[in-house]
Structure 1
Amino acid sequence: MGKSATLNLRVNPVVKERAEKVLSQLGVPMSTAIDMYLNQISLTGGIPFSVSLPKAPVSIHADGMTTEEIHQKLEKAYNDIAAGRVQNATEAFAKFREKH
């Protein structure tokens, strides 16, 4: 079947660059990878991978923790701060935004 349809889409440039690096290592052009993705949707009748929200680690759900567990987490955090194992919040959020 000939290819005549065109897709125009906007994506995060960082995500695009990372994907291009991986695809380049695989020897697969971006257009071929997208074509493969669309073919899999057509063949399987759905998205060809699991789509779900990641579950948050239990450690951040204080409702599911005992008082002792909360105290242990707080003590570990205090010890990390005292030992200088900290990160500037602005830098941490910038790194997070870069990755996501």
Structure 2
Amino acid sequence: MSTSGATTKSTNAFLAQAAIAFGISFSATIIGIIYLPLDIWQRGFLLMTGLFLVSSTFTLAKVVRDQHESSKVNSRIDEARMEKLMADHDPFKMPG
């Protein structure tokens, strides 16, 4: 009843795609804000909200990842306890 220690890992291509997509979308947002026909304070407001959106997105992703990893650890601890109980149990042992 042992479980394999295989973990899912993203490929380098997926990591590169995610990084490139983030770079393009962030750059396009900044360039769009710069070229909007607005006053400087309006551009500054849009820039600040864009940066806040990016930072809160990273924070949310980290929290979701941490919760998922925590649930995996708890599940592994429960599995290890059950395996130990099953290994220690001897159905042919006489009580007393």
Q: Which has the larger radius of gyration?
A: 2
Asked if these proteins are the same fold (TM beyond 0.5), I'd say no
Where relative contact order (Cα < 8 A, 6+ residues apart) is larger, the structure is 2
TM-score by length of 1: 0.26
More helix by share: 2
